Chains A and B, each alone.
Chain A
Amino acid sequence: MPFVRVISENKIIEENVTENTNLVVQAGIKKFPYPYLKYKCGMGTCGTCASLIISGKNNLPEPTWKEVKVLKEKLDLGYRLACQFRISHDIEIKQD
């Protein structure tokens, strides 16, 4: 089971999740990392769930067209939209 660490609002929360987990879906159903993961539209439009990938970046799928459109240059800085990827390996993310 992938181990996930989320740093948000100066809090660190961590938990194992089942493979293929989407963190926004998790937060939407009020499970870890609820209520600390910031998100809004859940469709890659608003950018609220933008997260800096601290570790585990190489295990993520390629950015979706929505991430390219919304994140622009932040994508090169290591940001991803949490609503747009599923997790199959350990990962650490940070939200501003």
Chain B
Amino acid sequence: MEKLMDQDVFRKALEDAIKGKSANQAPFSKAWATGKLQKKHFARWAENHYHYVGPFADYLGYVYSNMPEEFTDAKDFLLQNMYEEEIGGDRHTDLLIRFAESCGTTRERIKNPDNMSPTTRGLQAWCYNVAMRENPIVAVAGLVVGLESQVPSIYRKQTPVLREKYGFSDEEVEFFDLHIVSDEIHGERGFQIVLEHANTVELQKKCLKICEIGAEMRLLYTTALFNDYVKNDLSLEELETAA
């Protein structure tokens, strides 16, 4: 009979579930971190990324409504996360649009869902699916631990090159700076909630599985960005040589 993992073991298992499929390994992420992308690629990225992260507060809103009333801490965290995404300071999507505009695209193009790839549409749909239909603790594991907690490590690699190689100004790359701090809080709070409330063997297994799937979905999305927008300008061989 399977035993309930203690919190340290469970946390390590969650981290391992994400690590194996980290989006840092995707060609698009490698090309970004090594300065091989062109501004037009960043523009296409932003036109897709908007439709994945833009509804993040919506996803969390569904999870909030499913979260049991007595899980006050978890509910408060979700509410705070939503607040910070939208009205805590600058709206995060506005900062994404600011970066995208500096890459040559427009607010209209970014907000137009016709400009996202089918894979991005799939990632967005998966997020809504998890938020609406899963046990809320499992949903936090998938959306916050599996997806959001990866962001600081991704942006830590990707932000310096934006300033150093492409000469973007501080204001233009603010979207990335802020996520290094705010997603660190969100990811860690997500871990705390999952560790505390996934208190059955079955729930722990579901959380692990959805973390793995979440990381896979982000990896799939990032891989598709390379295939859809970059591969005609940069081959995988060139990228490997650069890396």
Q: Which residues of A contact B (CB under 8 A)?
A: 22, 24-25, 28-30, 40-46, 64-66, 83
B188 CB contacts on chain A under 8 angstroms: 25, 28-29
What are 28 contact pairs spanning A and B, CB under 8 A? A22-B181, A24-B181, A25-B185, A28-B184, A28-B189, A29-B185, A29-B189, A30-B189, A30-B192, A40-B89, A41-B88, A42-B84, A42-B89, A42-B182, A42-B185, A43-B89, A43-B90, A43-B174, A43-B177, A43-B182, A44-B178, A46-B88, A64-B170, A64-B177, A65-B171, A66-B174, A66-B177, A83-B181
The 6 closest A-B pairs by CB, nearest first: A41-B89, A28-B185, A45-B89, A43-B178, A65-B170, A41-B88
The minimal Cβ–Cβ distance linking A42 to chain B, given in whole angstroms, is 5
The number of chain B residues with a CB under 8 A from chain A is 16
Binding site for A on B (CB under 8 A): 84, 88-90, 170-171, 174, 177-178, 181-182, 184-185, 188-189, 192
Given contacts A29-B189, A65-B170, whether A41 and B84 have CB atoms under 8 Å apart is yes
Provide the bound-state CA to CA distance between A30 and B171, in Å: 30
A29 to B195, CA, bound (A): 13
Which residue of A is nearest B88, CB measured?
Answer: A41
**B contact residues around A44 at 8 Å (CB):** 89, 177-178
Distance in Å from the Cβ of A24 to the closest Cβ of chain B? 7
